[in-house]
């Protein structure tokens, strides 16, 4: 596959791309915090007009596929949001700009995110200000804001942040 897009240079210590059995996703340069989602079996040149996910108002910092649904991907951004996207089975046919879920509440950029590896639809987001757990079924949010979180590594059963 030949790609004519510039991959973001903003990654700080995060994943600028994510792959699952159906798709590869990678963060690109551009206004609106875009990222591309390409079917894994796509071969040949990717046209410059190929649809993308117009994800955020600020730079997208990380993307991660759900371990339970190959069509669900989450993204986080400098714009203080985390969003969950539903990708059609055959990939994007038009630019996607409406998330399934938008998580607000961070006061500073959301640096990283992770899906729980064994609990379906449980998402962790972390920034300099706090750590949040979101249950996508109930939309219940748990926020942690402790000074020691800023100075040490946090180990949560099943997650390493």
Question: Model pTM?
Answer: 0.82
pLDDT in tens, 71-96: 999 999 988 899 999 999 999 999 99
pLDDT in tens, 9-66: 555 556 678 999 999 999 988 777 899 999 999 988 888 889 999 999 998 999 999 9
Domain spans in the chain, listed from the N-terminal domain onward:
2-160
Residue 75, classed as helix, strand or coil, is strand
Look at residue 12 in the predicted model and tell me its pLDDT. Answer: 56
Spatial separation of the C-alpha atoms in residues 87 and 68, rounded to whole Å = 14
2-160 has which CATH code? Answer: 2.130.10.10
């Amino acid at each position: 596959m030949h790609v004519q897009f510039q991959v973001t240079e903003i990654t700080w210590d995060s994943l600028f791309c994510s792959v699952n059995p159906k798709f590869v996703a990678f963060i690109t340069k551009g206004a609106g915090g875009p990222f591309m989602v390409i079917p894994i079996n796509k071969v040949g040149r990717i046209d410059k007009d190929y649809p993308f996910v117009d994800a955020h108002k600020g730079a997208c910092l990380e993307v991660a596929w759900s371990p339970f649904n190959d069509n669900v991907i989450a993204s986080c951004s400098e714009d203080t949001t985390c969003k969950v996207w539903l990708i059609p089975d055959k990939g994007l046919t038009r630019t996607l700009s409406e998330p399934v879920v938008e998580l607000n509440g961070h006061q500073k950029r959301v640096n990283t995110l992770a899906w729980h590896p064994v609990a379906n639809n449980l998402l962790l987001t972390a920034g300099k200000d706090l750590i949040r757990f979101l249950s996508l079924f109930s939309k219940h949010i748990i926020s942690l804001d402790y000074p020691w979180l800023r100075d040490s590594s946090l180990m949560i059963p099943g997650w390493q942040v």
